[in-house]
Amino acid sequence: MEIDVDKLKREWAGSTFDTAEFEISADDLRDFALACGETAPHYTDPSHPDFRAVPNFTARYVGRRILPDNFPRLSDGFGFDAGKCVTVLGPIRPGDKVTAKSRIHDIYTKTGRSGTMLFIVHRMEFSNQRGESVSIVDWRMVQRARS
């Protein structure tokens, strides 16, 4: 089955389909950083005056929905996580309340020896309690297109 990517993008890309809120804990910031091998105290020591989240901390979050309601089922499986791109816009600190808005940012296909793969880029845009943008996470989900 040929996937009409342009039609999919016209119909589904761009609109916010989910909003979720998260509260930032100092213990989670510290343990996330230490487990990854960070040694800089502004990532590992909650008493440091500039203590903050490591750059990709927001990549841990998923909203209540991964795709919009009624998004067409285009593969037989659930697919897998092909990668994440994190853009850092501002610091995230303990006690912050961040709001994440989710939308489909892009849809494209790649064809190789194993067939056509469908990539859906799920974008989460994070802002803090003051309305300041702090992070963008682009999550590339890949599925094998139905044949």
Partner 1 sequence: MSGTSYSQVEFGEELPALEPDVSLANVRRFTHAAGMTFPRFHDHEAARKEGLPGAIVPGIMSQGILAALIHRWAPSARILRIDTVFRSPILVDSRPRATGVVTDKNDGEHTVEIDLTIQNEAHESPVVGTATVAL
For residue 33, the tally of other CB atoms under 10 A from its CB is: 22
Residue 48 is a binding residue for partner 1 (CB under 8 A): no
Smallest gap from Cβ 129 to partner 1, in A, equals: 20
Q: Which of 9, 13, 20, 38 binds partner 1 (CB under 8 A)?
A: 38
Nearer to partner 1, 68 or 142 (CB): 142
Q: What share of the chain is helix, strand, coil (3-state, %, to 5)?
A: 20, 40, 40
Distance CA 3, CA 5 (A): 6
Helical ranges in the chain per DSSP H: 5-12, 26-36, 41-44
Residue 37 is a binding residue for partner 1 (CB under 8 A): yes
Residue 134 is a binding residue for partner 1 (CB under 8 A): no
Distance CA 111, CA 143 (A): 12
Nearer to partner 1, 68 or 108 (CB): 108
Q: Which of 1, 27, 69, 131 binds partner 1 (CB under 8 A)?
A: 27
Residue 97 is a binding residue for partner 1 (CB under 8 A): no
**Which token pair is 56?**
């990709």
Residues engaged in binding partner 1 (CB under 8 A) = 27-40, 43, 54-56, 59-60, 80-88
